[in-house]
Structure 1
């Protein structure tokens, strides 16, 4: 079986032989048999578990690259009245240990009626959207800079 032990970070310019479309949960892996969108079967066998990001490339042992595509999933777009209010909403969501993607003017979180009720109760607005989910990593080694604030949402309005 073809093996993949290396990931090329997004932004490193490359020509991919194929793609693999995965939601956020499916993209957090260390070792797993996978099949690309075009049918290339391979074993992902990384030294450590990591979150594969939109645009990363899985390097196959035969030299081919498989580009990672983040599959849109059901999320809430949470907005505040202003930047300070959005920061407060982010703090409350973080206090619940909720993974969140931090955008310039909104947060993306997984759909959960309890979170919706909390955000609305705190004066936020919540919209159901379908979008790739690329949450912030943790403070201890998983942090990444988002840098994709204008990324369009799929199946809904552009935020």
Structure 2
């Protein structure tokens, strides 16, 4: 079985694509099938979110480009940037995955959350779009092949 062992943002042309929702794009190791039927084992060193446009580098040099499947979401907007920031705090306080932009926040649909946000004055619209939520504060992230683990350490003093 051919494996994909790394993710690259730098490639000239993809051999094929794979279209996945956000949940399926957050993986480390899993059997996958490209949009045109190429079966491969995703075998990464650690779990990560595969972003729209990332390339999965197969052992034979081919690249499978990741496509984000549009999902049913809410687009949340505030009256102004201060209001949007307060809405972001409310969403984060509930530990909801959120994609944050300068003028809007995208979250998964949940009628209880919608009611809460509208009660706080948010403008909430049903949309269908790719979803790439922010990583958590203690989640590892990588840039150009090297990782940074964001966590905390403890000094032990005798």
Q: TM-score range by the shorter chain?
A: 0.7 to 0.9
RMSD: 1.3
Q: CA deviation at 1:103?
A: 1.3
Structure 1 residue aligned with 2:146: none
- 1:97 equivalent to 2:95? Answer yes
Q: CA deviation at 1:140?
A: 2.1
Larger Rg: 2
Q: Taking structure 2 as the reference length, what is the TM-score of the superposition? A: 0.86
Q: Taking structure 1 as the reference length, what is the TM-score of the superposition? A: 0.86
Does the 8 Å CA contact 1:136/1:143 hold for their aligned counterparts? no
Q: CA deviation at 1:14?
A: 2.6
Does the 8 Å CA contact 1:102/1:135 hold for their aligned counterparts? yes
Structure 2 residue aligned with 1:107: 105
Aligned residue pairs, count? 142
Q: Which runs of 5+ in 1 are unaligned?
A: 145-159
Q: CA deviation at 1:141?
A: 3.7
Write 1 or 2 for the structure with the bigger share of strand.
2
Q: Which runs of 5+ in 2 are unaligned?
A: 143-158
Structure 2 residue aligned with 1:116: 114
CA distance in structure 1 between the partners assigned to 2:140 and 2:113 by the alignment: 23
How does 1:57-136 map onto structure 2 within 5 Å?
57-136=55-134
